[in-house]
Amino acid sequence: MTQELNRKLSIAPMMDHTDRHFRYFLRLISEHVLLYTEMATTGAILHGDREQHLGYSEREHPLALQLGGSDPVELAQCAVIAEDMGYDEINLNVGCPSKRVQNGRFGACLMAEPGLVAECVAAMSGRVQIPVTIKTRTGIDNRDSYAELTTFIDTVCSTGCHTFIVHARKAWLNGLSPKENRTVPPLQYETVYQLKKDYPDLEIIINGGFTGREQILAQFPYVDGVMIGRVAYQDPYLLAGMDQALFGSTNPVPTRQEILQEFKTYAARHVRRGTYLSHMTRHILGLFQGRPGARAFRRVLSDNAHKPGVGTDLIEKAAACVRSG
């Protein structure tokens, strides 16, 4: 059995954001925050380029794989592959509302089929030793009563699933885009707090709408952990000091310049392997958010990283804008 993960703070799975380069970058800021991959579908893993979808650096641990799918057999096969590759957790996506995901019969639409979700979790848990967790919403469409949510929780936790990450908004499967579903349905923090009161033996992680350090820290009297999403992309240095505040670390907080130097070394290694610099530097544009020179830092990287033959010295050039600003 793997060591119990500390989920006090985690970074949400975000398509086109939480790839291996961004995860490595975040690990330079925080040693302990739990990182999640982008959602990978069972079909992509079983029939696609496995290294492309699942490859990662050992430094990224603790690291969880989020799976998209609804076939228990395929999900179990993918869970075994993920465990063999060293992932620390498997998370089933029961929260994404996009049409593409719905057409594949997974994501948030699975909230309407708690029995199937339970089958999926049981199939995965029966094949692996690492934890299997659920990321879900408070409800879907007009099926958003607290009773319906607890029916879902009761059904799924009967399989032994212990950890539920709850995006504190319901999802509209029709009429709203995935982007609108992240902002339009009202936040329901009290619903998630009530879940923790009613299920004290479950690990309840809250997700949705957190934009600042104090707001994040204020959640801990009510829930077991906080998952943050786009704020970590827009202002990644928000994580600096969280190891000390939440995980008991006594290591010094890295400076932005120290982080940048380490990332430059990482980027140089991948450029030599054929990775485009822009595929990596796009993830670090927010490092100096709110600091003098931040706009110039972003502009230097955005305007030049895609150019043929550009090297990691561009990162030094961008950093100089901040030092001089």
Model-wide pTM > 0.85: yes
Catalytic residue chosen out of the listed positions 78, 96, 120, 157: 96
| Cβ atoms 168, 207 nearer than 8 A | yes
Question: What integer pLDDT is reported at residue 325 of this predicted model?
Answer: 41
Q: Give the CA distances from residue 307 to residues 22, 300, 302, 312, in Å, rounded to whole numbers and listed in that order.
A: 20, 12, 10, 12
Q: What is the pLDDT of residues 3-22, one digit of tens each?
A: 479 999 999 999 999 999 99
Cα–chain center distance at 305: 25
Q: What is the pLDDT of residues 205-224, one digit of tens each?
A: 999 999 999 999 999 999 99
Say yes or no to pLDDT of 315 above 90.
yes
When pLDDT is cut at 50, 70 and 90, the band that residue 39 belongs to is very high
When pLDDT is cut at 50, 70 and 90, the band that residue 177 belongs to is confident
Say yes or no to pLDDT of 294 above 60.
yes
What average pLDDT does the segment 247-261 reach? Answer: 96
Read off the DSSP letter of residue 171: B
Question: What integer pLDDT is reported at residue 103 of this predicted model?
Answer: 65
Q: What is the pLDDT of residues 116-145, one digit of tens each?
A: 999 999 999 999 999 999 999 999 999 999
Find where tokens 């704020």 sit. Answer: 231
> Does residue 96 have an active-site annotation?
yes
Residue 200 exposed, middle or buried by CB count within 10 Å (0-12, 13-18, 19+): exposed
What average pLDDT does the segment 166-183 reach? Answer: 84
Q: Please state, in angstroms and rounded to a whole number, the distance separating the CA atoms of residues 219 and 190.
A: 11
Helix, coil or strand: residue 135: strand
Average pLDDT, the chain: 94
Q: What is the pLDDT of residues 88-121, one digit of tens each?
A: 999 999 998 877 666 667 889 999 999 999 999 9
